[in-house]
Structure 1
Amino acid sequence: MNVNSAVKSLVHYAQKNNMIEKDDEIWAINSLCEALGLDSFEDCEAEDKPLEEILDCMLNYAVENGLCEDSVVYRDLFDTKLMGILTPRPSKVRADFNSLYEKSPEFATDYYYKLSQDSNYIRRYRIANDVKWITKTEYGDIDITINLSKPEKDPKAIAAALKMKAASYPKCLLCKENEGYAGRVNHPARQNHRIIPMTLGGDDFFMQYSPYVYYNEHCIVFNGEHTPMKIDKSAFEKLLDFVEKFPHYFIGSNADLPIVGGSILTHEHFQGGRYEFAMAKAPVETELKFNGFDDIDAGIVKWPMSVIRLSGENKQRLVELSDKILTSWRSYTDEEQFIYSETDGEPHNTITPIARMRNGKFEMDLVLRNNITTEECPLGFYHPHPEYHHIKRENIGLIEVMGLAVLPSRLKTEMADLAKAMLNGEDIRNNEKLAPHYEWSKMIKAKYEINEKNIDDIIKEEIGIVFTSILEQCGVYSRDEFGKKGFIKFAKSVK
């Protein structure tokens, strides 16, 4: 494929996926030629090739002709520019979305999700590289993923970013000003990025999809203003407003304190999508009653973390009870259970809320969180403990709370190398990369008869078990009778 063929093929691709019309063909060819520094174009037959193959040809041409440096960051900046030429304008996307929404919210999100992939905002070929599996546990099927779709910056781009002046536009990766932004080496290009406006809780919000889609139709819903994360009564209103508009989606928020936040705390945003996590499938194991809220079903969920589930037909009543529980939890201390609302003036208690529609009723899961630290656990007591840092030491945020482990990319090579070492009987204590897995590998070898056929599955199974144990560590109440007693004590304290 030469550059002329690539241009024609990309225009054909855009027509086939309803990004441009047949009448746009000559304009689209000329616009792409301009971006590639081509003074003329030799007409040819379009080739029906995968998008990444077409773009790769154009990127190679750009590199060879000094238009782009040959590194992943610069290539991403350049191919996003090319796709931005062909992506429908925001007004068109919003008009089409709203027109489809009138017929069905699902029609609207189906269109928008497909466009986000067709425009290469969501890079399908990178998502396909993610490693995924399921581990069966007493709490249900836990999803595990080693995420490989986010490319690592190369040394050249890192060096260039260090020399750049600090920029304040856009203020962060979630700001509405990212729509159509050209990007730079320390900020991704977004010419092919389109956002959908909506009103939640009386405030202006926008919806987009995550470019790294950890699960099906993984969307981000963010405030139109660059305002900090805050879990309060208005947050519950916004979440329930969203699921009322899009009843086929769930939506939740990361907590608003460090350690238990796991996300950008400087910009209010939520995450949702069309996926049923293990936590959503988990049953209520202990019923709860809250005074004055007999119309709301409530209970403790059978889940490794500490979750109160509320369900009812009246949206405002759910908001009021959620707010009462949050207010009580913010100031709640139970020294026997090692729960402190604050130490030295630093607040510790907050909530990770998740909303959905189920059988025509509003449902809200309130996950109790606490970010206290100790000498033994300086990164957080209700956080992955040091013995599990060889698998995961990062914060446990909303997605993981619901039962999907997002594990670091290093694990893919580490697990392959560890499997070989275990099969060969190697002593890994002097291996810098594998030494942190030493005690864990000893346990695995004692537990199983390992061989070449089963070692990979055994390692995956044990990673799932570790993640489940991490979730139990992050629960503020233990999963035994002592913890259950403390949990019920808190629920009775809510006035």
Structure 2
Amino acid sequence: MIFQYIHQLITQALTTQLIELEDEMYARNQVLSLLHLPEYKETEAAVNMDMDIPDLLESIVDYACEQGIIEDLFDEKEIFSSKIMNCFIARPSSVNQFFYEKYQQDPHEATRYFYELSKNSNYIQMKRIRQNIEYKAATEYGDLDITINLSKPEKDPKSIELERAIQKSDYPKCLLCIENEGYAGRVGHPARSNHRMIRVNLVEENWYLQYSPYVYYNEHCIVLSEKHTDMKISPATFARLLSFVEQFPHYFLGSNADIPIVGGSILSHEHYQGGNYQFAMAKAEDDWTFTMENFPEVDCAVVKWPMSVIRLRSKDVEVLVEAGAHILANWKNYSDEMVGILAKTGATPHNTITPIARKNGDLFELDLVLRNNRTSEEHPLGVFHPHADVHHIKKENIGLIEVMGLAVLPARLKTEIEEVEKFILGRDDAQVADYHVSWAEELKARYQAVVDNDNVEAIVREEVGKKFLRVLEDAGVFKRDEEGAAGFLRFIKSL
């Protein structure tokens, strides 16, 4: 069967244009070498064998484990799988050359080529991603995207034990560093043999475009700095984001905030996230408009969104950057105790911005989401962070993706929500987690007259969407009530 799998993998690589006919023999011999096979036995494809690349890779990796070529450990299997796919991918220089040849015709075609390459090479883990639960939840602010993240595989106990025991290495320094391109991987660091990056110039600096291995939306990309430097929101950030969308007008690009609690999961390497997708926040209407004296060319608005968002529009990128810099400088030092906003505690700063850039017709748009990471005795994880009563659904940081309206929820919720559904239906076998009990009882009381087997899933999904909306409202620095609106107006007047 191993020769059947190799034959099929080569056929799939040809079909998906990972390789050309002239590459067939070379790719086959590279795979044979990895499998310690001294020869190839010609074989006809099995009539009933209709496997795609991820399934074929699993079968080949299983063979390698059976033959003792690798150990049956998660990290070793990932490394071996990545090495096999590397036999079918061009070197970075060739990938970049082909990308920019397509870019000359149409930027959209260039990114489409690179996205398909990243999926077909199994760098983007589409088979695992398809396990995610995804749906939309209607709200007054538009349809929020809800994702229960099931794509990240569980490591076996032996792999976890090895990871703890192994000597730590600082190469690559982090998961985003450019040294990851083509890196084989090791226990505790993901396999990247099949990883490629596109070189992009942003404001005369070298940046790198790649896709997330576990995409949350269409063409979910990461744009990372050549240098391993800490995240920092500055006027230069706005200039880079706008430079990128000027070059790739079908993409948005945004940055996580640069301080803990309101920042992303990786603050040690400057990077942005974008893609070819329109979130609910991008579709949100203007709540009210205003002007700034020094920037008459910029249209300014407060966005109708549960978090506090200022949207700037202009045809002139440079003016947009200056207007954004003016707001950032003012916000960093802004306090309003009437609504709980303190710029600093001693020398520790609390205020920053989550920025997002996009091109909308002839206009460039720069969304500035106002953030504050202050904590208190009542809210030790963050005053403008999901509060305790929604932690049973979402407790983690609210980063860029959540800010725009996509909930990335933990895998535990899949089975936990199924138990809540059983409870609402009145089933005796329901085993509701302690932290869901009060929520489950509330839902049962509210829906017991109308709930049945056919609608219970939809009801609970809608209620999870409402919880995520609450998460966003908690993260908003100016609440959407009379007091919050007055506070937002005071800040706008300060500009």
CA distance in 2, matches of 1:447, 1:299: 38
- Residue identity matched to 1:460: R
1:10 aligns with 2:9: yes
> What's 1:267 paired with?
269
CA distance in 2, matches of 1:337, 1:60: 59
Map Cα deviations across residues 166-192 of structure 1 (whole Å, 9 max, x no partner).
111111110111000000120111111
Counterpart pick for 1:321 among 320, 323, 340: 323
CA distance in 1, matches of 2:298, 2:201: 26
Superposed, 1:205-220 pairs within 5 Å as 205-220=207-222
CA distance in 2, matches of 1:435, 1:110: 46
Counterpart pick for 2:421 among 419, 423, 432: 419
Tell me the CA shift for residue 72 of structure 1. Answer: 3.3
Tell me the CA shift for residue 49 of structure 1. Answer: 2.3
1:478 aligns with 2:479: yes
User: 8 Å contact 2:423–2:444 — kept in the other structure?
Assistant: no
Of 119-128 and 146-155, more deviation after overlay is shown by 146-155
- How does the TM-score come out when normalised to structure 2? 0.97
1:39 aligns with 2:41: no
Tell me the CA shift for residue 16 of structure 1. Answer: 1.6
Tell me the CA shift for residue 9 of structure 1. Answer: 1.3
CA distance in 2, matches of 1:471, 1:71: 39
> What's 2:494 paired with?
493
SS of alignment partner, residue 205 of structure 1: strand
User: 8 Å contact 1:229–1:266 — kept in the other structure?
Assistant: yes
User: 8 Å contact 2:424–2:443 — kept in the other structure?
Assistant: no
> What's 2:447 paired with?
448
User: 8 Å contact 1:205–1:224 — kept in the other structure?
Assistant: yes
SS of alignment partner, residue 86 of structure 1: coil
* CA 1:336–1:427: 2 relative to 1, 3 Å: farther
Tell me the CA shift for residue 232 of structure 1. Answer: 0.2
- Residue identity matched to 1:321: A
User: 8 Å contact 1:72–1:151 — kept in the other structure?
Assistant: no
Tell me the CA shift for residue 426 of structure 1. Answer: 4.8
CA distance in 1, matches of 2:492, 2:155: 47
SS of alignment partner, residue 317 of structure 1: helix
Superposed, 1:456-475 pairs within 5 Å as 456-475=457-476
- Residue identity matched to 2:18: M
CA distance in 1, matches of 2:483, 2:286: 18
Tell me the CA shift for residue 262 of structure 1. Answer: 2.2
User: 8 Å contact 1:286–1:301 — kept in the other structure?
Assistant: yes
> What's 1:191 paired with?
193
Tell me the CA shift for residue 492 of structure 1. Answer: 1.1
Map Cα deviations across residues 234-254 of structure 1 (whole Å, 9 max, x no partner).
000000000000000000000
Superposed, 1:124-135 pairs within 5 Å as 124-135=126-137
> What's 2:151 paired with?
149
- Residue identity matched to 2:459: I
Of 39-48 and 395-404, more deviation after overlay is shown by 39-48
SS of alignment partner, residue 34 of structure 1: helix
SS of alignment partner, residue 206 of structure 1: strand
SS of alignment partner, residue 287 of structure 1: strand
SS of alignment partner, residue 400 of structure 1: helix
- Residue identity matched to 1:198: V
- Residue identity matched to 2:78: D
* CA 1:427–1:13: 2 relative to 1, 3 Å: closer
SS of alignment partner, residue 87 of structure 2: helix
Tell me the CA shift for residue 81 of structure 1. Answer: 1.1
User: 8 Å contact 1:71–1:154 — kept in the other structure?
Assistant: yes
SS of alignment partner, residue 476 of structure 1: coil
Q: CA RMSD in A?
A: 1.3
> What's 2:390 paired with?
388
- Residue identity matched to 1:228: D
Map Cα deviations across residues 421-469 of structure 1 (whole Å, 9 max, x no partner).
33235597xx6x6110011111111221322221111110000000001
- Residue identity matched to 2:417: M
> What's 2:162 paired with?
160
- Residue identity matched to 2:472: L
Of 67-76 and 154-163, more deviation after overlay is shown by 67-76
User: 8 Å contact 1:73–1:154 — kept in the other structure?
Assistant: no
CA distance in 2, matches of 1:468, 1:14: 43
- Residue identity matched to 1:211: P
* CA 1:339–1:427: 2 relative to 1, 3 Å: farther
Map Cα deviations across residues 351-379 of structure 1 (whole Å, 9 max, x no partner).
00000000111100000000001112111
Tell me the CA shift for residue 30 of structure 1. Answer: 1.1
User: 8 Å contact 1:351–1:368 — kept in the other structure?
Assistant: yes
Q: Name structure 1 gaps, 5 residues minimum.
A: none
- Residue identity matched to 1:401: V
CA distance in 1, matches of 2:421, 2:183: 44
Of 168-177 and 410-419, more deviation after overlay is shown by 410-419
Tell me the CA shift for residue 19 of structure 1. Answer: 1.5
- How does the TM-score come out when normalised to structure 1? 0.97
Tell me the CA shift for residue 144 of structure 1. Answer: 0.3
CA distance in 2, matches of 1:418, 1:49: 37
User: 8 Å contact 1:341–1:349 — kept in the other structure?
Assistant: yes
- Residue identity matched to 2:2: V
SS of alignment partner, residue 132 of structure 1: strand
Of 288-297 and 317-326, more deviation after overlay is shown by 288-297
Counterpart pick for 2:205 among 203, 206, 215: 203
Counterpart pick for 1:367 among 345, 366, 369: 369
Superposed, 1:220-235 pairs within 5 Å as 220-235=222-237
> What's 1:400 paired with?
402
User: 8 Å contact 1:233–1:319 — kept in the other structure?
Assistant: yes
User: 8 Å contact 2:422–2:429 — kept in the other structure?
Assistant: no
Identical amino acids, percent of aligned pairs: 50
Tell me the CA shift for residue 48 of structure 1. Answer: 4.8
> What's 2:28 paired with?
29
Superposed, 1:337-348 pairs within 5 Å as 337-348=339-350
User: 8 Å contact 2:423–2:440 — kept in the other structure?
Assistant: no
- Residue identity matched to 1:32: V
CA distance in 1, matches of 2:425, 2:138: 25
Tell me the CA shift for residue 22 of structure 1. Answer: 1.1
Of 237-246 and 285-294, more deviation after overlay is shown by 285-294
SS of alignment partner, residue 300 of structure 1: strand
CA distance in 2, matches of 1:326, 1:484: 20
1:311 aligns with 2:313: yes
CA distance in 2, matches of 1:71, 1:28: 25
Counterpart pick for 1:59 among 37, 58, 61: 61
Poorly superposed stretches of 4+, deviation over 6 Å: none
SS of alignment partner, residue 138 of structure 2: strand
CA distance in 1, matches of 2:334, 2:342: 7
CA distance in 1, matches of 2:107, 2:154: 36
Counterpart pick for 2:79 among 59, 77, 80: 77
Of 2-11 and 462-471, more deviation after overlay is shown by 2-11
- Residue identity matched to 1:205: W
SS of alignment partner, residue 148 of structure 1: coil
SS of alignment partner, residue 200 of structure 2: strand
Q: Name structure 2 gaps, 5 residues minimum.
A: none
